[in-house]
Amino acid sequence: MKEKNTTPQAILAQAQALSCTGLVSHNIPPRECIEPVLVPRGNMVILMDASWDSTKKTGTAFVLFDEMGRLQYVHTAHIECSDPLQAEATALLQVLNYVKGEVTANSDSKVLVCTDCKVLVNSILQRTVLDLPSWRAAEVVAEGAQLHDTMIGRITLRHVNRKMIPQPHLLANWARTSGYTCSGSVPAHIALHANLNPEIDRDKFKLVQL
Least confidently predicted of 133-137, 138-142, 155-159 = 133-137
> Which pLDDT score is estimated for 160?
97
Q: How many CB atoms lie within 10 A of CB 106?
A: 8
Asked whether the beta carbons of 196 and 74 are under 8 A apart, the reply is yes
What are 75's strand-pairing partners?
Answer: 62, 183
All structural domains of the chain:
37-208 (3.30.420.10)
Q: Tell me the torsion sign for CA atoms 122, 126, 64, 143.
A: negative
> Which pLDDT score is estimated for 27?
57
Helix, strand or coil, per DSSP, at residue 99: helix
> Which pLDDT score is estimated for 12?
44
> Which pLDDT score is estimated for 181?
94
| Rounded CA separation 12/19 (Å) | 11
Asked whether the beta carbons of 84 and 130 are under 8 A apart, the reply is no
pLDDT tens readout for residues 40-74: 999 999 999 999 999 999 999 999 999 999 999 99
Mean pLDDT, range 146-162, rounded to an integer: 95
> Which pLDDT score is estimated for 32?
65
> Which pLDDT score is estimated for 54?
96
DSSP state, residue 100: I
Q: Side chain identity at 75, as an amino acid letter?
A: H
Q: How many CB atoms lie within 10 A of CB 101?
A: 10
> Which pLDDT score is estimated for 80?
97
> Which pLDDT score is estimated for 13?
52
pLDDT tens readout for residues 83-120: 999 999 999 999 999 999 988 877 788 999 999 999 99
> Is 134 buried (19+), middle (13-18) or exposed (0-12) by CB count in 10 A?
middle
Asked whether the beta carbons of 158 and 37 are under 8 A apart, the reply is yes
| Rounded CA separation 111/188 (Å) | 26
Q: What is the mean pLDDT of the chain?
A: 87
